[in-house]
Amino acid sequence: MGSLRDAGVTTVVALVCALPGAAPAAADVAEVPVADFPAEVLCTPDDPALVELSGLAVIGGRLFATPDAGADESVVELDADCAVVQRFPVPVDPYDIEDLAAGPDGRLWLADIGDNTSVRQTVALISLDPASGTGDLHRLTYPDGPRDAEALLVSVSGEPVIVTKALFGASGVYRPVRGRTVDRLETPGPVPLEKIGSLSLGPTDTPGGPLPGASSTLITGGAVSTDGTVAAVRTYTDVYVFHAPDSDLAAAIAAGPVFRIPVPDEPQGEAMAFTDAGDLLTGSEAILQGGAVTGERPPIQVFRGVADYFTGDPGTEAESDPGSGDAGRIGAAAAVGSVILIAAAALVWRLRARRT
């Protein structure tokens, strides 16, 4: 699962990140300009299935949500008050669903890509047709061994892009080989992925997240605007926005993020989606202790007009600074920095609890 609640893991990460010269992977990456989009509360999910909210998607004005892997792995449709409209059982038994994306053909795509212990020989995308409730399994394989991931983006042409969640070093950016779109993925596969680059984000001083010192660098979700010209990748604490005027996700990520939106105080922010109107929604898992929710449930927040940013006057604000993209440039160096980090990474590997 994506929560990494193991106390040993949290302690090791906090200690490592506090060491001189041992900041998370993107410590040497240039700062990304911050854009001011005030957050509003849309609504607060109170359904037990969404305690571990992990993915959001919008299709035709309908809001869908998925939890992290658990006892209830249904996709849930929510109304404007976050009340459950209906549930859609996942068509196949998943391993660890971590994100949700809207496809260009009206299908939902569940990202069964979680792999905390990096042992899976294949990951998968699962299609779900909201009209019929049917869907298929599409297995994928990484070219360089198992990877943990929580972010899926699907372009308007149907190209799926997976961004991994690297505890140390840069995150990998992958897509199916030979430009395959979601409608050309074999069932059940597998289809090989190709690595198209790497992405480093943060660190920032935005408060929130479960891992002190690392929450602002771990990539936990992705989203694409309805028209495909804006993409976003998030960490536990911040959202990074990319411009894709030609709907080319790989080129947009290569150019780097144009601006960053802080999303402070989400306890474990993983979910986000663009609405048809161009607003950005974000959501978070709740804080659990002993399986019970502690404190208030985190709301789904809305940032108005994010996708409309690039339709304004050219050459203004963050877009006028071509150097602002260095923070996410594909191929950016991500030096771990010391033998201590390597040892700590090995310890984290052993401490992570395998999903059952």
Cβ neighbours around 179 below 10 Å, total: 10
- Of the two residues 10 and 243, the one the predictor is more confident about is 243
Residue 22 pLDDT: 37
pTM of the model: 0.84
- 356 pLDDT more than 60: no
- Cα–Cα nearest to 25, from 350, 351, 342, 349: 342
pLDDT at 191: 98
Give me the half-sphere count of Cα atoms (radius 13 Å) on the Cβ side of residue 225: 25
Is residue 127 over pLDDT 90? yes
Strand partners, 75: 88
pLDDT of residue 1: 53
Place of tokens 């604490």: 237
Q: Is residue 142 pLDDT above 80, yes or no? A: yes
278-318 confidence digits (pLDDT tens): 999 999 999 877 767 777 899 999 999 999 999 864 334 43
Domain ranges of the chain: 7-351
111 pLDDT above the threshold of 60: yes
**In the chain, % of residues over pLDDT 70:** 78
Among 5-9, 127-131, 146-150, 194-198, the range scoring the smallest mean pLDDT is 5-9
- Mean pLDDT of the region 266-276: 97
Residue 116: left (phi > 0), alpha (psi -120 to 50), or beta?
alpha
Residue 292: per-residue pLDDT: 74
Query: Average pLDDT for residues 203-229, to the nearest whole number?
Result: 95
Give the residue-averaged pLDDT of 258-283.
Answer: 97
What pLDDT does 69 receive? 64
What pLDDT does 75 receive? 95
Residue 24 has pLDDT above 70, yes or no: no
Question: CATH number for the 7-351 domain, one of 2.70.70, 2.120.10, 2.60.120, 3.30.70?
Answer: 2.120.10
pLDDT at 123 over 80: yes
Average of per-residue pLDDT across 310-327? 46
Q: Is the dihedral of CA 91, 94, 97, 102 positive or negative?
A: negative
Mean pLDDT, residues 198-217? 93
* H or E segment and range at residue 14: helix 7-18
Distance CA 80, CA 98 (A): 23
